[in-house]
Amino acid sequence: MQVEDYIKAGKIASEVREMVRMKNWVGKTVFEICEEVESQIIQRGAKCAFPVNTSINELAAHYTAEPNDQLTIKDDDLVKIDLGAQINGYIADTAVTVCYDPQYDGLVQAAEEALANAMSMIKVGVKASDIGRTIEKTIKQLGYKPIANLSGHSLDQYTIHAGKSIPNIWSIGTFSLTDSSAYACEPFVTTDEGLGFVREGKIKNIYALVSRKKTKNEEADKLLDHIWENYNMLPFALRWITKTYEEKQARELLEILIKKKAVHAYPVLVEANGQRVAQAEHTFIPDQNGATVTTIAQ
C-alpha cells in the first residue's frame, strides 16, 4: 500500500474541500462548480478520482454536471459536493455539504458530528458495525435519520469501492478494520420525515469501465481504449469525454458500450420520501493507536 500517495492525495483533496466549504456558490451552475473544483485538484498535482458530485437537496449522491449544465444553485439549496483526488491511483475521497439557509444548519451539523465521532473511534480491529452504531446514535440523538442503504467503503488502487462497506447504521456480520487498507467513511443524514433510504433515480451521468472486451464496433472500441488510458477503472463523466469527442458522438458511443456491458452508468440516488440529505466524508488509514485521516484539514 502506497501510504505516501494516499497522504498526498488526501492533502490535496482536503485543501480543495475547504475551498469549497468557504465559497459562496449561489448563482453558480453545477457545470461551473464541477469544472472549478476539478481544475483545482489538477492544478495541485493530482488527478480526479471521479467526477465531482453536486447532488442537490433530496438527491443524495451521483449527480455530476452534464456538458454545459445550466442547473443553478439557489440560496435555499443544500448541496453535497463530493470530490476525489488520486495520485498513481491511490484515492482520497471527501465531501462537504454547503448550504446558505440556516434552517438546514442542524442537518449539515449532524453529518459532520457523526463523521467526527466515527473518526475518534477508528483503530485497527474496530468493527465496521460499531462505527455504524456510533454514526446512527449520533444522528438520531440530534433528531435526524441516517440513510441506511448508503455506506462508506474500502479503497484500493484505481478502485473506489473495493468490496468492504462501512455502514451508517448498526448492522450485523461486518468486518474489522485492518492497517493494510484505506477506507472512506461518509455519513448521510436526512430529516425525521425522510424514509432514511435512497432509491435510484432516472438520471445517469457518471460512468465507469466494467470490461475491456472489444465490442466489434471500431469507434466504440477506440473510446473504450481512451477511457482505459485516461481513467483506468475509475468513474468518469460525459463532459470529460467531450474534451476529445463531439457530444453527440460521445453519447452514441457510450450507449453502445453500456449495451455491450463494457461500461456501467450510475443512477442518481434520491431520498425515498423526497427529503433533503446532508453528507460529510473523510478517507482514513487505521493503525494500532488510531488512524491517519488523510483528508483532515491541515
Q: State the CB neighbour count (10 A cutoff) for residue 183.
A: 25
Question: What are the residue numbers of the active site?
Answer: 82, 93, 153, 161, 186, 281
C-alpha cell at 27: 448563482
Nearest in space to 243 (alpha carbons), one of 255, 230, 232, 233:
230
Cβ contacts of 22 within 8 Å, gap of 6 or more: none
